[in-house]
Amino acid sequence: MKLSQFKFKLPEELIALNPPYHRDECRLMVVHRVSQKIEMYKKDENGEPLKDKDGNPEYLDFRNVLDYFDEGDAFIFNDTKVFPARLYGTKEKTDAKIEVFLLRELNEEMRLWDVLVEPARKIRIGNKLFFDDSGTMVAEVIDNTTSRGRTLRFLYDCPHDEFKRELYGLGEAPLPRYIVDRRPDKRSTEDDFDDFQCIFAKHEGAVTAPATGLHFSRELMKRMEIRGINFAYITLHCGLGNFHDIEVEDLTKHKMDSEQMRVDADCCKLVNDTKRAGHHVCAVGTSVVKATETAVGTDGMLKEYDGWTNKFIFPPYDFGLADSMISNFYHPYSTLLMETCAFGGYDLVMEAYNLAVKHGFKFGSYGDALLIVND
């Protein structure tokens, strides 16, 4: 397929800059792959749309996801944990303001980090960068990796745990730029540390949240547990590649950034037992779909995996594991939109997106949700 096929007009006001008051209160749209139906409204026992006090149909909310699953079904979540990756500081001598985005730690003992810097043209090898008023958190630029990429060595002499605690204490929640840049002060808040983290986050390493998982509250997961729905967890450390612009029209020529992932034996057993018993397997988010499609065998069963993936999923694609998925609503030309279209069918998902725009659904990491089921 071509990049231009994933163009649609997204009004500025539909980009969610903040989460709903309660995690599980966003709107939900449901796409049925086989019947080609699209649902948006709550219904009574006769199948008629429920009306609010003003006579308007009531939209489905995320808690209605329970209505589509039963005892014995399994949800697969991504339990990666976001760390406070965005730092602000100054450059030595000039005191010029700089932004450093931590990507990953390269060497614990030497305090080496792979980072992105802004403004990149002013930050060169040998420069020292200061991140606090006391001048104790200092880093030296020791290498250029890409046009914006640098390797930093932090000059902070203390135990590693203390260093990480101090470093993270200076950082902000790494909200996507399309959110930060649209806020009046162009900064994240203290609340974003909690809002931009899944409640089941466990393994640190992501620089952006697996956004679909943000919708799950403790109350909703308890209700799912009571219903007999099982939970499995993979780990995929979500990177910034999900937000990179695609620069080629022919999608087969696009290369995704690699992301570290792990699927353990417990996850494999639960998911494979669920499939063998004929129950539904729901992938929560595009990162879970990417991870499970990386680790699925030719027999349709999930295999243990510990490594990296740069899998790029776009239509047409023959999926091997999950029979349903939940996603957010993504921006035009997004690789996440492409993966969603591959799962639900291009025409049907793009129709759902047109309806979402028409009915004022919210888009992006803090936006509304789309459930795709195989009936």
Token pair 């998925």 in the structure block, residue = 325
Q: Is the pLDDT of residue 135 over 80?
A: no
Render pLDDT for 151-206 as a digit per residue (tens, 0 to 9): 999 998 889 999 999 999 999 999 998 999 998 888 888 899 999 999 999 999 99
Domains of the chain: 3-81+205-373 (3.40.1780.10), 86-171 (2.40.10.240)
pLDDT tens digits for 175-185? 998 999 998 88
Give the pLDDT confidence of 262-291 residue by residue, as tens digits.
Answer: 999 999 999 999 999 999 999 999 999 999
